[in-house]
Amino acid sequence: MSAHSNRSRLKDISNTGFGPNSGVEGARLINPDGSTNLRKTGIPFWERISIYHTLLRMKRSSFFLVIFVFYSAINLFFAVMYMLTGVEHLVGVEKGQTVIDKFIEAFFFSSQTLTTVGYGRVSPEGLLTNAVASLESLLGILSFAVVTGLIYGRFSRPRAYLIFSNNLLIAPYKEGKALMVRIATYKNNHLTDVEAQLTLAMHVKEHNKTVTRFYQLPLEFAKINSLALSWTIVHHITEDSPLNGMTKEQVVSSKMEVIVNIKAFDDHFSNIAQQRTSYTYQQVIYGAKFLPMFERARDGKYTILELDKINAHELVDITELVEA
């Protein structure tokens, strides 16, 4: 049975969130980190972006860099305000200093006011200077409340903490072949009721036009009770598989992409956690199988899960993806 005839009798799905028009797609649908490979235009930038969601999903180093830049910018702004209102209205600032020294004094007085520390060596004098200091104190209270909420939100947001193998493997399986990907948790959280879903996106020719078709790949096990060790997700390439009848060249020409969705229950948060990634046809290794990534400890008291072996595999003798 040819690959085309096999796919033609399969029902493709249309609930992926992506359309069938291949001519408007980018290099891939889903990025390796699980985000959509998409840029939105047509309305102003600040209406297209949620600052809250951006700060929650931002890398930790970038998040704290943003806080530091924001903190420094506020202090610089109010230091300039104190200079404009007259640094002589800051009691405790020594007279005869240079402009730079006065600005440094105003900057650190601003940081003390913003954080409501108030060491007492320098204090505001006069209505205008006190008004600026009062405004800065209010802004400081509000800012630190927002930052505290963001830090809590980042720590309390349920995450699956999964690592995925770098490649998809075409491996021997039950006197045939199977598409395999391996996952594992890398934190000390415990995931239960773990569900996996593999969606295949392929570019096919229909009526002299290239369109994208999506197929749900049946799995050996679509759900496991607990993800204590690693889990190799297996799609058996049978006669009912959309990959049946395809050669390597056909896989490349179809620009195949496999989207992996994982949903699980996190015992620590008593909440659902989700994570996804995708693999393109360039990440498929033909004729390989995963190597074990866990072993018994020498004293036999516990099992060692070697996370650095998530991608470990060896080449094996196998025919093409299917017979040409």
**pLDDT of amino acid 323:** 44
Rounded to an integer, what distance in angstroms lies between the CA atom of residue 278 and that of residue 33? 8
User: For residues 12 and 75, what is the distance between their CA atoms, to the nearest angstrom?
Assistant: 58
Q: Report how far Cα 143 is from the mean position of its chain's Cα atoms.
A: 27
Question: Which tokens is 186 given?
Answer: 């890398």
Token pair in block for residue 231:
């889990």
pLDDT number for residue 233: 96
d(CA 109, CA 92) in angstroms, rounded, equals: 10
Please give the residue range of the domain that contains residue 249: 3-38+159-315
Task: Answer yes or no: do 152 and 165 share one domain.
Answer: no
| Residue 65 vs residues 49, 51, 115: alpha-carbon distances, Å | 19, 15, 18
Number of folded domains that form the chain: 2
Verify that 145 and 211 share a domain, yes or no: no
- Beta-carbon contacts of 18 under 8 Å, excluding residues fewer than 6 positions away, are 25, 29, 201, 212, 214
State the Cα–Cα distance between residues 56 and 47, nearest whole angstrom. 18
Query: Are residues 301 and 216 both part of a single domain?
Result: yes
Query: Quick one: how far is CA 152 from the chain centroid?
Result: 18
Amino acid letter, 144: F
Q: Which residues does residue 238 pair with via DSSP β-bridges, in sequence order? A: none
- 58 lies in some domain: yes
Q: Tell the burial category of 207 from Cβ atoms under 10 Å away from its Cβ (0-12, 13-18, 19+).
A: exposed
Whether residues 170 and 147 share a domain: the answer is: no
CATH code, domain with 300? 2.60.40.1400
Distance between first and last Cα of the chain: 11
pLDDT at 159: 85
- Tens of pLDDT along the chain (324 residues) come to 555 555 555 566 666 777 666 555 667 888 888 888 888 888 888 888 888 889 998 899 999 999 999 999 999 999 999 999 988 888 888 877 889 999 999 999 999 999 888 788 888 999 999 999 999 999 999 999 999 999 999 888 888 899 999 999 998 888 889 999 999 999 888 899 999 999 999 888 777 787 888 999 999 999 999 998 999 999 999 988 988 878 888 888 888 899 999 999 988 878 899 999 999 999 999 889 999 999 998 888 889 999 999 999 999 876 655 443
| Domain final position from 111, 141, 156 | 156
Selection from 195, 185, 193 nearest residue 294 by Cα: 185
Angle of CA points 159, 146, 83, to nearest 5°: 140
What are the DSSP E strand ranges found in the chain?
90-91, 123-124, 162-164, 168-173, 176-185, 191-206, 209-217, 223-226, 231-236, 257-266, 271-280, 284-286, 288-290, 294-296, 303-305, 313-315
**Which among 133, 156, 179 is the end of a domain?**
156
Query: Which of 112, 129, 156 marks a domain boundary?
Result: 156
User: Which of 221, 215, 204 is CA-nearest to residue 241?
Assistant: 215
261 in any annotated domain: yes
The pairing of strands 168-173 and 284-286 is parallel
Q: Does a structural domain hold residue 45?
A: no
Q: What is the pTM of this model?
A: 0.79
Residue 43 lies in a domain: no
Q: At residue 257, what are phi and psi to the nearest 5 degrees?
A: -135, 130
Asked if 146 and 207 sit in the same domain, the reply is: no
User: Could you tell me which residues come within 8 angstroms of residue 265 by beta carbon, excluding any fewer than 6 positions away?
Assistant: 191, 192, 193, 194, 271, 272, 273
HSE, CB side, 13 Å, CA atoms: give it for residue 274.
6
Cα separation, 229 vs 172, whole angstroms: 22
What is the domain-level CATH number for residue 123? 1.10.287.70
Could you tell me the two tokens for 61? Answer: 């180093």
